[in-house]
Structure 1
Amino acid sequence: MFETLLIVGIGLAGGFAVGAQAQIAGSMGNRIGGAAGSFIVHLGGAVASLALLIARGGENISEWRYLPWYMLGSGVFGLVLYLTLSQTVPKLGATSAIALVVVGQLLVGLLIDHFGLFDASVRSIDLSRIAAAILLLAGAYLMLR
């Protein structure tokens, strides 16, 4: 039970981080441009990741050469997310922009799970997952109204 609560807490912390970053990304994108803001965000993330990597003794960084190509290029998704937020937050507000991001995450998550993409365990789309997706889509629609 404790482990489940811990994992839920970690997930919520990630959501809080995305929520805070959404507004910051939107404001920074308005002030200095989307690509410039993305560079600053990713540079700060790289510095923080390097500090964490050093604190953790390097983990298995030497194995990076054996990663599939799509893992090496996955930072592009961070750029897409940042540019998306820098455009949507100023026009729609943080809540609506985040709702759209969450819906996008949900849809790609369903596909990744269903087909077992990127080393994921297969979790087929079933009626309860479809119902959950419909409820989240309805919530996003209500946020955007």
Structure 2
Amino acid sequence: MPVWLLALPFFAGACLPLQAGINGQLARQLSSTFAAATVSFAVGLLALCLLTASQRELPSLSALKDLSWWHWSGGLLGMCFIAVAAYAGPRIGATLFMAIVIAGQLVMSLTLDHFGWAGFREAPVTLGKAAGVLLIGGGVWLISRN
């Protein structure tokens, strides 16, 4: 497996606490968590539109019409994360916030893999995977005690 392919998710993960902090400051400046999330999404939407147009990958209207209701839910899940990060991140700190985010990601990932939901290949929960998630839970507990 190429190293750059492993570096991409590391980079994306490193962006999350920075994004939470920036959006928290934006929420404070605008006096609104949802206004901050709106600004964040507007900037992201503009950047994605420019990238999509530059790649000439605009979807057809018929392709958009053929989407199921759940295809549209990814944006709602992103909105949920941005709003929660802007609100909770500055209040509980970057380390605890991200530890809890990682714990939530791993619990959902185990579920998705186990059942093969959302297009992931089916991979049953093993003792090692469950133990890893429990260790992350222990890490969350240790971080929250300080």
Q: TM-score scaled by structure 1?
A: 0.91
Q: Does 1:113 align with 2:113?
A: yes
Structure 1 residue 21: Cα displacement: 0.2
2:78 corresponding residue in structure 1: 78
1:23 aligns with 2:21: yes
AA partner of residue 141 (structure 1): W
Deviation of residue 71 (structure 1)?
Answer: 1.3
Question: Which residue is 2:39 aligned to?
Answer: 40
Paired residue for 1:52? 51
Cα distance in 2 between the residues matched to 1:73 and 1:90: 26
Between 1:26-35 and 1:119-128, the stretch displaced more is 26-35
| Superposition RMSD in Å | 1.4
CA distance in 2, matches of 1:123, 1:85: 30
Give the superposition deviation at 1:68. Answer: 2.2
Distance 1:30 1:110 in 2: 35
Q: Deviations over 1:26-56 (max 9, x none)?
A: 2222222111001000000100101110122
Per the alignment, residue 138 of structure 1 pairs with 138
Alignment identity in percent? 25
Query: Which deviates the most, 135-144 or 62-71?
Result: 62-71
Aligned residue pairs total 142
What is the CA–CA distance in structure 1 between the aligned matches of 2:15 and 2:66, rounded to whole Å?
30
